[in-house]
A and B are shown apart, each in its own frame.
Chain A
Amino acid sequence: MKPFLTLLLESYRGLKSETIFWVTVGLSLLVAVLFLSIGFDENEISFFFGATNIEFDFSGRGGRLVQEIGYIMIFTNLIAGGWLTFIAIILALISCASIFPDAMKEGSAGMLMTKAPSRLQVFLAKLTGSLFFVFIQVGLFVVIVFVAFRWRLGVWNFSVFWYVPAVLLVFLNLYSFMVLLGVLTRSVMTSIMLTMLLWGISAGVDWAITYHESAYQLSQYVDAPTGEIVPEEEVEFRMPEMEKVEGDPQILSQIGTLKIVHSFFPKNSPIMESAEKKLVLDGMAGMLASDGGDVSQKLEDEGELDDAMGKLTANDSTFYSIGTSCIFAFVMLSIAGWLFCRKDL
């Protein structure tokens, strides 16, 4: 146990000695505090703890609830969508990219891998160290966001903490691939570049599936008299004259193929989306409960809300995404670990 802890401590010291580590932590805190600094009241949104503000009349547009939804939207779109899913993960990947190639350099291997800990222990310690770094970084960030929600919306929204495992899983997916490349090529640059490529491809496949799915939905509606597919922008106006038919089988088979391809890739956006769903739904439920006002009466019985939440969160695709992503990471890490234990250094 002691050698393993020593390795962990050493990984952490190594990270700490890199500038990129502090840049990442600093930026992360900055973004969290920026979010914390956004406030609003009846007729304005303020930024930087009230240093600047924009007039915005909420009273005519649904009042408090709209403000609150707006606040959550800022979080999901900008903070979670932009920062957490994208920049924070890129920074974390770059910070951790050199860990494995460095450990395998002749000079450091002579120190690390000729002693009591087995190579597998060294591998696991380095991996744990990287994950721990991301955990700390995201954890800290989310705690600040959690406080922000309480301060601005008046609810303790524990669902934000779902972002911690979600970001960790997304990171692990990409990182597992990066570790494999690092062990194979021992080149930091190559592993960063190819990992970004994997990310791009998996995002591309994701997007292609969404695109084809909406195309398929459109193909299900035809103009009743002529049997032609109704163009997207006209669907809304021509509802009465349309009829629902079997969609285009060709698109369906394309979706099938894409989904098979997709199953081999890490599923980053589906994972982040499931965290988002949890957050939004719990956030709404919390606000409605604390509101006690007009809106919550519309959803008189709690059951209705629960049903809606259940449908959104417990759907198969979440488990499918998480499951296949875990398998992806496991396979990548197994190969990487096996190579790491066998390679000549």
Chain B
Amino acid sequence: MSDYVLDLSGIRKTYRGGVEALKGIDLQVPRGCIYGLLGPNGAGKSTIVKILTTLIRRSGGDGTMLGKPIGDRETLQKVGLLPEHTQFPPYLTGRQVIEFAAGLQNVPSALTRERTDALLAKVWMTESQHRQIKTYSKGMKQRIGIAQALVSDPKIIFLDEPTDGVDPAGRREFRSLVRELREEGRTIFINTHILSELEPIVDRVAIMANGEILGEGKLDELRTEKTGYVVGFEGQLSAKSLSKLQDGDLEVDGGSVRLPSTNALDAQPVIDLIRQEGLVITDVSLKSQSLEDLFIGLVGGGSSPPPVPGNSVQPPRIPQA
């Protein structure tokens, strides 16, 4: 058996109507980690999760989850899911939703009560447990959604935009909850486009756009790949210098130039060039990329062109009036 709880190769999905949502996804998720799947809207993140939880059928490719082929019902009993647009039966109370999920997942009745209590406490919903779902706020529904995903004591948990609608305090609680789940040996797979969410907790990330994975790895590794000198300056570079810098594969972003190198000597010609223009250097420092930079770098956005060769991603741009 492979050491991966999730091992996908070449997963494709073409929706009816011809939308190619996934163009051959290869993904390996090791056991017991927090795995973040990042991508802009429409990247195909939810499509992956839906295929794994049998909501939709894949058009091609293969894979295993917990060592069993995708779609195996018994395996799904050990899988928790917080779907993207959850709608629980509005007439149920929060508690009943969790008990309903327990019933569906064949949790023995003797355990259900105890687990429901524990989960309600975990997501801070003990007080509102007897109110009907329709009286809940968005964030409260989301909390119940997370609790019901955990009721079968799952080995792998898929959370699709888990903090959608959750307030800052709730987000912090969420992060500690996810860490706790990892301590218990579970694998947590999180879909999100809110980067700051993942940064403090994820072990590995995959960045995807347009149905393709653009980068994957340990967050630290991905970051060091992208560590380098950043030269800050004040003023406007001439077009000539700008293209010269860009031809040298440097990222120019407003008032800074990012070098792919950690060698201070490599920064000197750049500093010279900027000073020749009569501009003022404000800062020279060694910086590692934040997850956001990494994301923008891979997916495209701001003024930096997508660095991955041959990728056709066009960052969504808001038309300027």
Question: Which residues of B sit under 8 angstroms from A52, Cβ to Cβ?
Answer: none
| B55 proximity list for chain A (CB < 8 A) | 109-110, 113-114, 344-345
Flag whether A61 is at the interface (Cβ < 8 A): no
- Given A3-B105, A344-B16: A113 touches B54 (CB 8 Å cut-off): yes
The residues of A that contact B86 with a CB separation of less than 8 Å are 107, 110-111
With A106-B85, A115-B76, A344-B57 as given contacts, are A13 and B104 in contact (CB-CB < 8 Å)?
A: no
Q: Within the assembled complex, what's the spacing in Å between the Cα atoms of A345 and B79?
A: 19
Residue on B with the closest CB to A342?
A: B57
B56–A111 CB distance below 8 A? no
Is the Cβ of A107 less than 8 Å from the Cβ of B83? Answer: yes
A108 at interface (Cβ–Cβ under 8 A)? yes
Contact with A along B154-185 (1 / 0, CB 8 A): 00000000000000000000000000000000
Residues of B within 8 A of A109 (CB): 55
Using Cβ atoms and an 8 Å threshold, which residues of chain B touch A7? 104
The closest CB in chain A to the CB of B160 belongs to A110
Chain B nearest CB: distance from A231 CB in Å?
61
Q: How far is the CA of A117 from the CA of B57 in the complex (A)?
A: 17
Please give me the residue from chain A that is nearest to B82 by CB atom.
A110
- Structural contact, A115 and B105, CB atoms closer than 8 A: yes
| Contact pick for B84, options A9, A105, A110, CB 8 Å | A110
- Do A114 and B53 touch across chains, with their CB atoms under 8 A apart? yes
Contact B101 A115 (CB under 8 A): yes
Binary CB contact string for chain B from 46 to 62 against chain A (1 if under 8 A, 0 otherwise): 00001001111100000
**In the complex, A51 has a CB within 8 A of chain B:** no
**Contact pick for A115, options B56, B85, B104, CB 8 Å:** B104
In this complex, how many residues of chain B approach chain A with their Cβ under 8 Å: the count is 32
> In this assembly, does A33 line the interface, its C-beta being within 8 Å of a C-beta of chain B?
no
- B89 contacts A10, CB within 8 Å? yes
Chain A residues with CB under 8 A of B90: 17
Please, which residues of chain A bring their CB within 8 A of the CB of B73?
Answer: 116-118
Measured CB to CB, the closest approach of chain B to A14, in angstroms, equals 6
Which chain B positions have C-beta within 8 A of A119?
54
**B56, A116: Cβ atoms under 8 Å?**
no
Residue of B nearest to A6 (CB): B103
> A345 vs B92: C-alpha distance in the bound complex, in angstroms?
23
Determine whether the beta carbon of B91 is less than 8 Å from that of A116.
Answer: no
- Interface check B126, CB cutoff 8 A: no
Chain B interface residues (CB < 8 Å from chain A): 15-16, 50, 53-57, 73-74, 76-77, 79, 81, 83-92, 100-101, 103-106, 148, 152
Using A14-B91, A117-B73 as known contacts, list a sample of 11 further A-B pairs with CB atoms less than 8 Å apart, ordered by residue number in A: A6-B103, A9-B103, A107-B86, A107-B88, A111-B88, A111-B100, A113-B54, A114-B53, A115-B105, A115-B152, A116-B152
26 cross-chain CB contacts under 8 A: A2-B106, A6-B104, A16-B91, A106-B84, A106-B85, A106-B87, A107-B87, A107-B88, A108-B88, A108-B89, A110-B87, A111-B88, A111-B101, A112-B104, A113-B54, A114-B81, A115-B101, A115-B105, A116-B73, A116-B74, A116-B152, A344-B16, A344-B56, A345-B50, A345-B55, A345-B56
